[in-house]
Structure 1
Amino acid sequence: MLFPALPLREVGAKVMIDVLFVLDDKTETPAIVTRAAAMFSVARVSASGIGPEHVSSARVMVVHAALRNLHDVARIEDACDELRRRDDCVYVAKGSERAGIVQAESVGIGRVIAAHQPLEDVLAAIQCILNRDLANRLDGYPEQVIETINTTGTLFQQVAAAMREDGPLPLRLLSDSSRNIGAAIECVGLVEWINAVEMHHSQTCRHVLMVAGYADAFARSLGLSASDTLLFTKASLLHDVGKLFIPIGILEKAGPLSEQERRAIMTHPLRGAKALRKGSGAQPLVIAAARSHHEYLDGTGYPDGLAGGQICPLVRMLTIVDIYSALRETRAYKAGMTPRLAITEMAGMKGKLDPRLFAAFRDMVLNPVFGSQRSSRGPETRLANDCLLNGIHPLDRETRPLEVGHRAFG
């Protein structure tokens, strides 16, 4: 039995989801499901209707049912083997009765959370299982790659928690994460970095880590200074921070978006820029990136309809990298494109992208050895002067800065 409401995935879908909630029949949406749906991809099924096909499509199972009916208990046992019940399952008690807890423990559910415990304990248990699952899938990658992905994941967890409390964003890990991405790519090459990133359970984390990887490679291929490269990678990591306000069920929806859902997603640039201004210490160009990465040179972008010289060089570069990453990624609603198909698609966006930067990016990603190289150019081949920090187009290194409108800086 499926439950209506909330933009959640259908149970049994082919794509993997983060959390499967097992609920009593005719249960209204519990608060924990609503909270979890803002953070993870979520589906629901009734205890009387659960089957192996439901469990196999989820990384974590949360049972939030009274378990008074022995038939329901047997269904859960049949649907989920002993190992998964122990390692990947959480039981959240309903009310003060101990019967459900006793039944959960009797079938070997590894984590039991009492009804009086805060919802944060449930969310922490889910995140712990997802972190372990990610660690297992990253087994065999160099420690530097694993640590970089974990550090960046921690950064996003801290930022998301601050945003839920409407507080200043804690960006202490931002510089370290940005530098470590460049070091990880130098260690294994961009292709292996992307392969590792694709293991992440969160589509939003996968995307920003891919964008940051391509951004670091693009900056280095242009010979930008270390300061510019760091700034560009920081901006890439935070460009979609406003999406942390959008429910995962909308962001990772497998089918077409409704008009209301589309409008909700289009709020993320302004919401992200607003959050970054709130005492986070983010640089103005990082805020500009969050606000303006969907702007186009011909003025048809959003949210401000900026055009031409109103869009600074960093944002122009980020727009190219962001679009390319999105086209390359496999998502719930589409297959990823090959590099050549993605570049062909972008070449059709006449007047929207900076043509010289796009040509440089195209030459980089279509180079046969690109992505397999394990070391980037050393500091001796980089520009001595900062371009992006000073509003100078990277391909106009000796010219004056572009006239950039104040809105493009957030």
Structure 2
Amino acid sequence: MFVHALEGPWFSHPFWRGKFLIASPEQLERILASDIDSLVIDESRGLPLLPQPDFQSQVVRRPDRKLKPMAVRLQRPFRQPQATWITTTGLSPEKEKIRRAVQRSARAIESIMSAAAEGNRISANQVAPLVDDISASVEDHPEALVGLTRLRTKDEYTFVHSVSVCALMMTLGRHIGCDDETVRQLGIGGLLHDIGKMAIPDAMLKKSTRLTDDERTLISTHPEQGYRVLQASSDVSQIVLDVTRHHHERVDGTGYPLRLAGDQLTMPMRIAAICDVFDAVTADRPYKRAWTPTDAVTRMWEWEGHFDRALLFAFMRCIGVYPAGLLVRLRSDRLAITLPPRARGAALQVRAFLSAIDRQPCGVTDVAIGNAASDDQVVGEEDPARWGIDNWLIVSEQLLTGSGRWGDRTGSSIAA
């Protein structure tokens, strides 16, 4: 069977790609063992859906689609707990495998940084197998990898952070259509982006209180330090060099070390800036509690001039997490406002209210994005002014709270 789409945000998907061919019973078992409630099967690209002995399926056909994929809601049978699924660490075998992959990669990065601190040259060939290992882990169970990288101690923050940024950069690269080699180089860049921290005193990196201005100035030299180390190697690509040197640049030119701005920032630099900050703020630090993914993207979206907004929006689409109150366009040609998450890891909810075809109110309707049965997706951000909504603060508050009978009060502000 060919999977056309998986329901729910990226953190709950058991596979990296949203579209793939189910080629083994193990893949089907991973889907059944995940938190996914439904998926879409495209019968034109694989075997048709057949009755399965261990779960029931509710099929919803979509005649308006040429390919006519089917939405399938999986009803899992009750299963007696099996001791074989629990390890001594309390993790399932899959998550235990990923935990070991994270640890292997973190230890390897620590070893590479130590070697660099002793003056040894860094080779991309040392890192490539780690990237392949992380890539395989993310493809099998991305939400588990991201979750497990959160369980880091202050002693291993730098190394596990590198693993997590590597995974996020490869995931975003694939989401925006980068070729396999570019995705691989993004992964290598993610693993090595903080290699310059080997020149920073260990006590400063592990400090449990906020840094002084002098300490912050010293730590801000790590991109240039890392660039110099990697520049001495003959097999490190320009993408990796760019990511290492410029992952703290901002699109408005206020970043460091070179204050690059606008078109001076390459796509890998922009991707690295987003993934580096997202992982940093969603991890517990000695002096700061972790933000939730929703809090992180909300604040990052508010930081005008920090990030490439098109790429940041693509990142939010990639992980299925958006700030509440964002005006978006749906695949169904409706405008909608993003709603606050109902629960951690829950599918994105939006509230559709306006037709993008005739600019007329279409009835306020809540839609679960990523829900295969709803067959709707977010396709882009919209500017309220473009749609003649000149009082978005009022409109958004009424839509979020369900108050004020929005359709009666704001219809006159929608340009015909």
Quickly name the TM-score band, shorter chain normalised. Answer: 0.5 to 0.7
Counterpart Cα distance in 1 of 2:110 and 2:294: 34
Tell me the amino acid that sits aligned with residue 134 of structure 2: I
Structure 1 unpaired stretches of 5+: 1-134, 372-410
Identify the residue that residue 245 of structure 2 maps to in structure 1: 291
Give the residue type in structure 2 aligned to 1:179.
D
Q: Which of residues 308, 317, 322 is equivalent to 1:363?
A: 317
Displacement of 1:170: 4.1
Deviation (angstroms), 1:304? 0.6
Counterpart for residue 259 of structure 2: 305
Contact 1:327 1:337 in 2 (8 A): yes
Instruction: Say if 1:275 and 1:343 are closer, same or farther in 2 by CA, change over 3 A.
Output: same
Question: In the aligned structure 1, how far is the partner of 2:347 from the partner of 2:201?
Answer: 36
Deviations 1:202-223 (A, max 9, x none): 0101211111121122122223
- 1:179 aligned to which of 118, 121, 132: 132
Could you say what the CA RMSD is over the residues aligned between the two structures, in angstroms? 2.4
Alignment of 1:72-91 (within 5 A): none
Answering whether residue 281 of structure 2 is matched by residue 327 of structure 1, we say: yes
Aligned residue in 2 for 1:148? 101
When you count strand as a share of all residues, which structure comes out higher? 2
SS in 2 for 1:172: helix
The structure-2 alpha-carbon separation of the partners of 1:359 and 1:179, relative to structure 1 and needing over 3 Å to count, comes to: same
Distance (Å, rounded) in 2 between the aligned partners of 1:169 and 1:258: 31
1:210 is aligned to 164
Q: Distance in 2 between matches of 1:225 and 1:266?
A: 32
Q: Is the 8 A contact 2:245 2:257 kept in 1?
A: yes
| Change in 2 beyond 3 A, CA 1:165/1:136 | farther
TM-score (structure 1 length as normaliser)? 0.53
* Corresponding residue number in structure 2 for 1:197: 149
Q: Is the alpha carbon distance of 1:348 and 1:260 closer, same or farther for their aligned partners in structure 2, counting shifts above 3 Å?
A: same
Letter in 2 for 1:318: A
C-alpha displacement of 1:350: 1.1
Q: 1:121-178: CA deviations, max 9, x gaps?
A: xxxxxxxxxxxxxx98586543642452243234323322322221211443311111
The whole-number CA distance in structure 2 between the counterparts of 1:200 and 1:138 is 16
User: Aligned partners of 2:101, 2:90: CA distance in 1, in Å?
Assistant: 12
Match of 2:217 in 1: 263
Cα distance in 1, alignment partners of residues 319 and 132 from structure 2: 21
1:198, CA displacement in angstroms?
Answer: 3.1
Q: Deviations over 1:362-394 (max 9, x none)?
A: 2222356789xxxxxxxxxxxxxxxxxxxxxxx
Which residue identity does 2:108 align to in structure 1?
Answer: L
Mapped to 2, the partners of 1:271 and 1:229 lie a distance apart of: 24
Q: How far did 1:252 drift?
A: 2.5
| CA-to-aligned-CA distance 1:252-302 (integer Å, 9 cap, x gap) | 222121122111110100000001112262112201111111111111110
Alignment partner, residue 162 of structure 1: 115
Partners of 1:344 and 1:151 in 2: CA distance: 33
2: CA distance, partners of 1:310 / 1:297: 9
Aligned 1:7-406 pairs, distance under 5 A: 140-142=92-94, 144-188=97-141, 190-201=142-153, 202-279=156-233, 281-367=235-321
Alpha-carbon contact 2:110-2:159 (below 8 Å) kept: no
Q: Distance in 2 between matches of 1:138 and 1:230?
A: 32
Letter of the 2:263 counterpart: G
Task: State how far apart, in whole Å, the 2-side matches of 1:258 and 1:304 are.
Answer: 22
Q: Which structure 2 residue ranges, 5 or more long, are not aligned?
A: 1-86, 322-344, 349-416
Q: 1:165 is matched by which residue type in structure 2?
A: E
Corresponding residue number in structure 2 for 1:110: none
Amino acid at match of 1:180: D
Counterpart CA distance in 1 for 2:278 and 2:110 is 26
Given the superposition, is the C-alpha separation of residues 168 and 300 from structure 1 closer, same or farther in structure 2, using an over 3 Å criterion?
same
| Count of aligned pairs between the two proteins | 236
